[in-house]
Amino acid sequence: MPTVREAALDVMRRYDLTTVFANPGSTEVPFLAGLPDDIRFVLALHEGSVVGAATGYAIARDAPALALLHTTAGLGNAVGALCTARVNRAPLVVVVGQQDRRHLVQEPFLAGRLEQLAGDHPVRTETPPRAQDVPGAIARAAHAARTLRGPAVVIVPMDDWACPAEELPLPAPAELRLSDAADPGDVRDVAELVGAASALGLVVGAGADHPGTWEALTRLAERTGAEVWQESFGARAGFPQDHPLFAGHLPADRTRLRETLGPYDLVLTVGAPVFRQYPYEEGPLVRPGTRIVLVTDDPAEAHRAPAQLAVVARLPSFCAALADSVDGSRTSGGGRTGGERSRRGGASRNRRAAPPEPPAEGEPLRAAHVLAELARRLPPETVLVEETPSSRPDLHALVPARRPLGFLSAAMGALGFALPAAVGVRMAAPERPVVAVVGDGSALYQIQALWTAARYRVGVVFVVLANGRYAIMDRLAEKHQDTAPWPDFEEVSVSGMAEALGCSARRVTGHAELLAELDALLPELAHSTRPVVLEVAVKADEVFQP
């Protein structure tokens, strides 16, 4: 009779969960000891890095990844990263260890009240009632992670693994299909609204980051001449940002949002919420007369959208059918054809920001100098993982996403995402060059992830924009016209910590030195197995205004 552990390993193989990201403790040893050779174990030094790397791995593969956490302390440390994974819609199977089932009633040392510890961030949480139910619970978690797009948690007492398994079919579907069919009636209704619009605007978001959706939305924009906006705070790009019809990123305040969307009588939003805002402002999202249609694969996004019509569908197939259904030859907007509107949009939008002039001899670098030089050198297929809050507007202005998965950020806004996520992305997609652009303050939240990158020879270039402070917090304090009580941390050496964790690192202080380092590192990035940290000293009190 096989054990529960052996049956669970078979389930993991069936669902391609054969890479285990973990920072384990004693409650996980019965599962991990003697792990078979076909199961890859990846150690991270903090649970935030465990879940962050698994999140990047899952996003890059567009398939569930497995994270293994240690009872109360491990799950508790990982809650913030689980929240990020949920908002990033990353499919994760999260197995959490628990004390021995046979004395749980006595609340022994390391026992945890785990079911509610992560709140409602998991899409599913299950403690199997018997040891024999563990393999089925892992299978159900894989389905839930994939269909509900988030982390699904399975809590397993440590003695369950050695128990005999049942020779019964798993209480979970052997196959679960997500239909790619686009309902013809829904497609027709949206196409009619698009065709009747005199001025159409498209808003795209992270949910549209798929090769099929990019291709379909590009055809739709070109046939209608619609200008395309990226959602604010978008974690992924939903449209090629070097396309002439790409208009930019939506502002995150209602006043400017109304102004930006004011020219359109119809706004078609695809794969994005309607609309993500920060901070709060009074007033409507759009002006009277502007109608909103949402197409999304996220039911919760549809439920809260103030839209005239919301359609929940698989986006690649729906958008392809919609692009096929829209007649690009029809006149629209005062007699302009779709092609004429396209040329008009291309002339009026997507004027990429001119890069700043290089600093004069002896002048400090700014973040925009670094980003402009990256933009000149990065291959189109690069995955850029971002976590630099004070420099994100510069990055959007200077470094366009040119391929699906060309841009990745933390949808939740919690710091500590980029370093481990970049590691996971590169492990899942070794054919894609990966660059992480991170503020020094952000890097400190999961600096331990560099050890995992070095230990497993994950070839990522980590560009750390080091201004020695939380610059975004300083700017927020300035808006309140008050002083900030927090100090700077210029004495912190990210490159020094990187080297202590076994990762190659350099500190860059000048423009010529920056160019030399980028020219040496980036051409070999696609084939590199050596992680490198470039800690680039930048001036904190200057903001590039494109």
Q: What is the pLDDT of residues 354-400, one digit of tens each?
A: 888 888 888 889 999 999 999 999 999 999 999 998 889 999 999 99
Q: What one-character DSSP code corresponds to residue 478?
A: H
Q: What one-character DSSP code corresponds to residue 126?
A: E
Q: What are phi and psi of 91, to 5 degrees?
A: -75, 110
Position of tokens 């491990």? Answer: 74
Question: Who contacts 530 (Cβ-Cβ below 8 Å, separation ≥6)?
Answer: 457, 459, 504
Question: pLDDT, tens digit, for every residue of 220-233?
Answer: 999 999 999 999 99
Domains of the chain, earliest start first: 4-162 (3.40.50.970), 184-348 (3.40.50.1220), 367-537 (3.40.50.970)
Whole-number pLDDT of residue 478: 67
Helices (H), 110-210: 134-148, 184-196
d(CA 465, CA 268): 36
Q: How far is CA 379 from the centre of its chain?
A: 20
- HEC string of 349-372 equals CCCCCCCCCCCCCCCCCCHHHHHH
Task: Enter the pTM of the model.
Answer: 0.89
Nearest to 376 by CA among 356, 362, 351: 356
Please check the confidence at residue 342 and state whether its pLDDT lies above 80: no
Question: pLDDT, tens digit, for every residue of 118-164?
Answer: 999 999 999 999 999 999 999 999 999 998 999 999 999 999 999 99
Burial class (CB in 10 A: 0-12, 13-18, 19+), 189: middle
Whole-number pLDDT of residue 140: 94
Mean pLDDT in residue range 320-344: 58
